[in-house]
């Protein structure tokens, strides 16, 4: 057997298992990659003022494209995935796998929001205080465990209508008598 043929056989023998070992990425990992990729691209766009490509000259567009490619490559390196494998995986996904990845993205977003809420000192059980309108939309103003809730009826105090004589014109002062047209220049 010639040396060329043996090298060719050896290289194909070693490359075939590598193709078989190309792993399927789980939906959670794909969701993390998508989220990180989106954040990296947003940082690059924010660094350049969020301009549209039509507002830039050729050199600026070329620079932004290069920075975006570097940012995406950094994300892929961070997750230990090649761009080719990622693109192949995403291209082969069907509707069922896309739905799984979308669900994983929503779960990651919920985890991120809960972590942000905990870092601010709020617990997920805390109820935000809201103001309601009328008896149809009663809202609990204060709530502590073991006590009855305090419910406010009617308009909030800042929005109540003032009583007569407190700055509101009287009806006869506000309107002109019926039948008389009001000139355009006069109130």
**pLDDT, tens only, 99-153:** 999 999 999 998 888 887 776 665 556 666 666 555 565 555 555 667 776 666 6
Domain membership flag for residue 44: yes
Domain membership flag for residue 46: yes
Give the per-residue pLDDT at 118: 73
Domain membership flag for residue 129: no
Tens digit of pLDDT for each residue in 35-71?
999 999 999 999 988 888 888 899 999 999 999 999 9
Count the domains in the chain.
1
Domain membership flag for residue 164: no
Domain membership flag for residue 83: yes
Domain membership flag for residue 59: yes
DSSP state of 139: -
| 0.75 surpassed by pTM | no
The whole domain housing 72 covers: 29-115
Domain membership flag for residue 47: yes
Domain membership flag for residue 64: yes
C-alpha 3/C-alpha 11 separation (Å) is: 12
pLDDT over 70, % of the chain: 58
Assess contact for 51 and 8: CB atoms under 8 A.
Answer: no
């Amino acid at each position: 057997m010639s040396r060329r043929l043996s090298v060719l056989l050896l290289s194909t023998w070693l490359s075939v298992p590598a193709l078989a070992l190309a792993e399927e990425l789980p939906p959670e990992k794909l969701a993390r990659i998508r989220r990180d990729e989106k954040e990296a691209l947003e940082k690059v766009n924010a660094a350049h003022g969020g301009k549209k490509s039509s507002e830039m000259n050729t050199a600026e567009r070329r620079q932004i494209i290069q920075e975006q490619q570097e940012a995406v490559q950094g994300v892929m390196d961070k997750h230990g995935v090649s761009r080719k494998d990622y693109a192949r995986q995403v291209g082969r996904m069907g509707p069922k796998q896309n739905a799984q990845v979308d669900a994983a993205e929503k779960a990651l977003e919920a985890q991120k929001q809960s972590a942000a809420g905990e870092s601010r000192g709020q617990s997920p059980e805390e109820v935000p205080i809201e103001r309601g309108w009328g008896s149809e939309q009663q809202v609990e103003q204060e709530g502590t465990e073991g006590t009855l809730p305090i419910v406010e009826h009617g308009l909030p105090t800042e929005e109540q209508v003032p009583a007569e004589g407190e700055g509101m014109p009287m009806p006869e002062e506000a309107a002109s008598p019926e039948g008389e047209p009001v000139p355009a220049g006069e109130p």
